[in-house]
Every structure is written in C-alpha cells, then in structure tokens.
Structure 1
C-alpha cells in the first residue's frame, strides 16, 4: 500500500509539473511573420510566395534611420525574408530559375537595389555574402501620402502571368515587376 501511495504521489507531481511548463508561452512576437502570394487567379497554383517579418514603425523615422540608407537590409524583421518562385520568372529584368531565395535590399532615397540571394535560412543580413547573389535589380523608390505602420509586401496582378511586387513601410513604396516565364 505504501508503494502504491508513493507511486500515486510521484505521478501527480510529474503531471502538475508538465502542466505548469506547458502553459509558459513566450510573449507575442513584436514583428510577426506574414506571407504574400502571387497567383494568376484565385484558383491557380502560386507563382511566388514571400515569407517575411513585419516590423512596426512605432512613431520612429524608418528609412535613413531605423533602416539605414545604402546598406544591405533583410527586407523585414528577424529572419531574412525568403521568396519562393514555383516556376521560372523574370524578376525586374533578370531571369530567375524556380527555387527559394533570400530577399535582401539596399534602400536608397531615390532608388533601391533588390537582391535575390541563394543563401537561405539566415537570420537578418549579418552574414550576407554578395557572391551568393542570383539577381540584383534597381528600382525607383516613391512616396505615398498614406503611412504604413507595419512593413508590408503584396503582389498586384497585371496582364497575363505578370504582377508587381510592392514593398511598403511608412510612406516609402518600391515596385518590382515579376513575370512567370
């Protein structure tokens, strides 16, 4: 009986311990992850998918301050942004094979350099290696009257199998043409 009682106490202790650890979740991510898809229509398979962190402005000046001009940026927060092309595409004016790439950028006041890099699953841009670049596209930067609190990426479908990928944060907007080949 004594052994049975001891075993019951031990099982209850372990059960309560596991239960208390299971309820310890970390806090909400300050820059939550988001996904943007490019599909030619709602029922079509995707042409591209972007997975990125969405940092917030929080009343701070963004480009030229929080994100410096003329330096490689992870194009979002936390892990470097990744873009998957499910078929061969023309990205800006560069032909790119289907696959997954890291999406880096070099923000400038008038134009941005958008970079596709083969080094995936990296945190930030701390270990960025230019020799792993697959494509570099230079696009103009524009301003909008509306300020976006969270960094955002979206696709706006065009004709046939083309779309414009928009990057936006605060009042800055950047557009990169993408066309399935």
Structure 2
C-alpha cells in the first residue's frame, strides 16, 4: 500500500511539474501585439462598424518612415490583416461600401495616407492582393498632441456617419464616412 502511495505522489508531482513547464512555454510565447476590437454605434446605439486588429507598441522604435516604411502597403496593425465590418451601407468620399466584412490596409506617407478596403478577408497580414481592392481614398494626417505608445483605432460620430482614426507614435490619420440610410 505504501508503494502505491509513493507512486501516486510521484505521478502527481510529475503532472504538476509538466503543467507548470507547459504553461511557462505557452505564456512566454504570448503575442507582443495583442488583439483588440473597437465598435462604432450610432446615436441610437445601433451597430455601424467593428474593427478587429492587433496593437503593436512603439517600444522606443522609430515608427513611420522606418518600421512602417512610407509609400508601401501596411497591414495597419500587426499579425493578421486588420478586419473591418460594416453593418450598414456606408460611403467613403462618395464611394459606396456595402454592408459586409473587409480587410483594411493603408499606405502611409509623410503628408497623407491612402485608406484601402480589400475584399479578401482570409489572408495573413503579410499577404496583399491589390486586385481585390474595393476602394482607395485619401486620409488626412496630423501630428498627435502626445505620443501614442500602442497603435490604436477609434471612431467618433459625426453628421450621419463617423470619423475613423488611426493613431500611433506621433501621428493620427483620419477618414470620414457617411451612413447611406441611417
């Protein structure tokens, strides 16, 4: 009986040791650019848009023009392609975007950015097929009043639609949109 207790004690200790090592391995490999979701609702609290994206951090790096090169397509975040869903038809610069889910890409430059909605939503963040672009429009760029450590996306309601903001480091880019049938 004593031998059985010793064997059970050894097995239990081995299990907990394995579990501890397994959790160390699992959590040590957590993503350094965590996933985030931002939801935009209209004044009546009806869903208009949702963005799912990863939030890389600055970590004392030079961001725009260096880590994120100017005049090249950027996945607009980290890891997988940023996904934006519209629950109502919207217009960007008079270009109709039907309710649905798209990938969001940008092309940053020093003075303005290009905002791109792409119909391919299953590619990784490093894949980009320009032939699947739905719209491309210009974003305004302005300096951030304070440094933004982690890349962030937000919405602000305005005149039958909203303004989409992308901010990181010392830069904020924005693009307005309207809801077709509010």
TM superposition score normalised by structure 2: 0.84
Secondary structure of 1:26's partner? helix
Cα distance per residue 1:6-37 (max 9 Å; x no partner) = xx96xx57x93785577453234211111111
Q: After the TM superposition, which residues 36-115 of structure 1 pair with which residues of structure 2 at under 5 Å, given as runs?
A: 36-41=38-43, 44-115=45-116
Unaligned segments of structure 1, at least 5 residues: none
CA distance in 2, matches of 1:155, 1:60: 26
Equivalent position to 1:32, from 31, 34, 59: 34
* Counterpart residue number, 1:179: 178
Q: Measure how far apart 1:146 and its partner are.
A: 1.1
User: Higher mean Cα deviation, 98-107 or 142-151?
Assistant: 142-151
* Counterpart residue number, 2:167: 168
* Counterpart residue number, 1:136: 136
Q: 1:58 to 1:20 in 2, by over 3 A?
A: closer
CA distance in 2, matches of 1:110, 1:55: 22
TM superposition score normalised by structure 1: 0.85
Unaligned segments of structure 2, at least 5 residues: none
RMSD: 2.6
| Contact in 1 for aligned 2:90/2:178 (Cα 8 Å) | yes
Cα distance per residue 1:99-153 (max 9 Å; x no partner) = 10000000011111110001113221x3201100011111222112311011110
Q: 1:26 to 1:142 in 2, by over 3 A?
A: same
| Contact in 2 for aligned 1:93/1:137 (Cα 8 Å) | no
